[in-house]
Structure 1
Amino acid sequence: MNFLSDPGRLTHIGSIIITLLSGVAVLFLRMRASNKPTTMRKIIMPPIGMSTGFLMFIAPVTRVPWSWALTAFAVGALLFAYPLIRTSKLERIGDTIVLKRSKMFIFILLALLLARLLLHDVVEQSVTIPQTGGLFFILAFGMIVVWRVAMLRAYKKLERVHNKSI
């Protein structure tokens, strides 16, 4: 059988390529965003904007049991958010607060992308492709929400310290 004639294999390879391209795009954006002034709005808007993705669950084909969704959220929130929190530091420079990028940040993002690719294949063996997409969306949402809440707390702390010194 010809390698390219198997639609399932082509779909799988396409999924991997899209994931890798998306991951590289995210890495590029994260690298550009670091060391630039940030605001509370810039911290809270990504999870708010991402939350519209939950509309995918209107389609029955993407729905998963609640226990699976909660597990995916917990894995993102407890496992995947931690390295991002540890490598994202906010600091005040003059009147602005900037996100200082750790030298390990790029490696953390690459490791998270690799873990996602490996986990994707495992999960996809048990559930449909649309359900897999839904579960990984929930995992990513859990990761982003926890990471951004930690950043928001650090941001507010820097603002309080600055306001007390004025």
Structure 2
Amino acid sequence: MTDAIRFIRKLAFANMLANDRLHEAISLLEPGEFEAPRTSFFPSLVATLNHILIVDWFYIDALEGGTLGPKAWEEEIPFPNPKELRNAQRTSDRRLLTFCQSLRGEDTARPVHIHRAGRIQVERTDDVLSHLFQHQTHHRGQAHAMLAGTSIKPPQIDEFIVADDAASRADAMQRLGLTEAEVMQLDS
């Protein structure tokens, strides 16, 4: 496995772990806090986290060769319920991880056809993945900041997936059914 592929796969694991930890905190909110108006790019936790998921659908579909395009945005908040949203995000994260695990060195330069309104954008696979991971991180940070105004302490979500962090990620690893060997790519 090339270092680039290993890096992409580790980003997919980090993304999954951060989303799980964020959604775990969301599951502990008092009634009304998930939907409550907040100051950020999107006006609430429910809007922010649904946006993350919708953009995941858009880009993961394109990476897989699909044509979903702008249809991804047909429903602004497809999951108003935090438990259903968490399950949908977990499914999306697994889909992204599976895609990243299927990559081989030559695949990173493969063109991705992104169906936009009225045009098709063509980008490299590694560039689309880089953008998708950055998008997730950006909006997770906003949700993290919004949590500071709730009854729940914002969780640690900036793990770098290094060996020394193993003990601190054990909770999320257990919830997700992941092993250290998978995350650290010891079997590859």
Q: If the TM-score is normalised by the length of the shorter chain, which range does it land in? A: 0.3 to 0.5
Work out which of the two has the higher radius of gyration on C-alpha atoms and give 1 or 2: 1
Q: Provide the TM-score with structure 1 as the length reference.
A: 0.38
| Higher helix content, 1 or 2 | 1
